[in-house]
Amino acid sequence: MPMHFPWGTGEVEDLPTVGTAVDTLPDPSRSDDPPGVRLRTARARARAFREEFALTGAPDTITTCDLVTLPYPTRFGLFRASRAIAPFLSITNRMLVIRWRESDGRPRVLLFEPSDVELGRSTPYFHDLRRKTPRGLERLVVTEHGTVLGHLARLGIRPADVDYLMFDHLHTQDLRRWVGTRAHQDDLGARPRAAFPHAKVIVQRDELAAMADLHPLQRPWYQPAAYRDVLPEAFAPIDGSVVLGPGVAVVKTPGHVFGNQSLVVNTSTGIWVSSENAIAAEALTPEHSRLPGVAGWARQWQQEAVLNANTVETTADQYNSLVLEKTLADRSQRDPRFLQFFPSSELTPARTNPGTTPTFTHGHITHGPTTHGVKPA
């Protein structure tokens, strides 16, 4: 049944946006071309945008903050490619803190993937998984590394100085403690005040509209009830791809969800792309993967990317989006076989999951001077 939200479709359409639209990358979800044509178009347009984007400059700093490592089904994370015997692999969710200055000197702070890990546990899929997992086993396979607010305190950033919150999509996200609500929340025992009183949530407008009436394929991964009392003014919806600041862009990459979006940043090592369309850098160059089955599967099926496929809303679009991301990203300076694709949930080695140790991991993006001598965590 449709969910009662404090906004209607018309209000979502009328909300003000942010950023400068990228004409080189029109919204792929609005194309009527067949998937093969869209694939060629995505590759060509990504090449053109790479040249434009490199000229926008670079942000001042990027810092990576680990949030949580948790189990995730192997059949989702590596789609049909893995031959690992382990039913689960491990992924680490990380937040990126990005700072830049506008042309008039105003400072900006963007938090990418600032997940409220505690409230994210109520996501239907993960709530059911926790219910079936003995507490002793959960302590073994789940590691909480730090909280969003704790990391910001460590970096010397006041929550009131944060301008933007952004996720590649809103799976698992509960934003009530971040942006506040208009009413008392029974499960929280209070009406939460916004931890980030001046921040806007950057989201694709079509994902925001779709959440009011989820498809069965989408329901296990969203928490629509958590948005009942979130005011529409908390959001800054965008339509497609935009440049936010020097060396900072949001690129629409539909497929994993209809409104999926990727962070693109220009750094001292070149261009990085981050999303959850894939869970490992080697998923974009599977021919170099040592994960059991992956390279052979890619050869057999003549596919150049391995999807993160917990939802297959539009599989061909997700594949095309990964190719776009693959074309945008520079090669890793540590190992040029792999690209500077930084999964927002990155495959992480774990003794409990044989056959899922990644060939290569990034672990962090670091750009610019550290703050107060603080290193990425």
Structural domain span for residue 241: 17-348
The mean predicted confidence, pLDDT, of the chain is 92
Query: What local confidence, expressed as pLDDT, does residue 310 receive?
Result: 87
Confidence of residue 115 (pLDDT cuts 50, 70, 90): very high
Whether 371 has a pLDDT exceeding 60, the answer reads no
Structural domains counted in the chain:
1
- The verdict on residue 93 lying in a domain is yes
> Whole-model pTM?
0.94
| pLDDT of amino acid 212 | 80
The per-residue pLDDT for range 241-276, each reduced to its tens digit, is: 999 999 999 999 998 888 899 999 999 999 999 999
pLDDT-based confidence at residue 377 (cuts at 50, 70, 90): low
Across the range 217-221, mean pLDDT stands at: 87
Q: What is the domain-level CATH number for residue 69?
A: 3.60.15.10
- From start to end of the chain, where are the E strands? 20-21, 61-73, 88-101, 107-112, 143-144, 164-166, 200-204, 235-238, 242-245, 248-252, 261-267, 270-275, 341-343, 345-348
Per-residue pLDDT of 26-67, as tens digits, reads 888 888 899 999 999 999 999 999 999 999 999 999 999 999
- Residue tagged 């060629």 (tokens): 40
Indicate whether 5 belongs to any domain: no
Calculate ∠ Cα 116-120-122, nearest 5°: 145
pLDDT tens figures, 304-359: 999 999 887 789 999 999 999 999 999 999 999 999 999 999 999 999 999 999 99
The distance of Cα 187 from the centroid of its chain, to the nearest Å, equals 26
What CA–CA distances, in Å, run from 127 to 214, 270, 311?
18, 39, 17
Q: Is residue 8 part of a domain?
A: no
**Has residue 355 been placed in a domain?**
no
Domain membership of residue 372 (yes or no) is no
Q: Would you say residue 243 lies in a domain?
A: yes
Residue at 9 is within a domain: no
Whether residue 9 has pLDDT greater than 60: no
Predicted confidence at residue 135, as pLDDT, reads 80
pLDDT of 125: 85
Residue-wise pLDDT for 132-176, tens only, equals 888 888 888 899 999 999 999 999 999 999 999 999 999 999 999
| 368 within domain boundaries | no
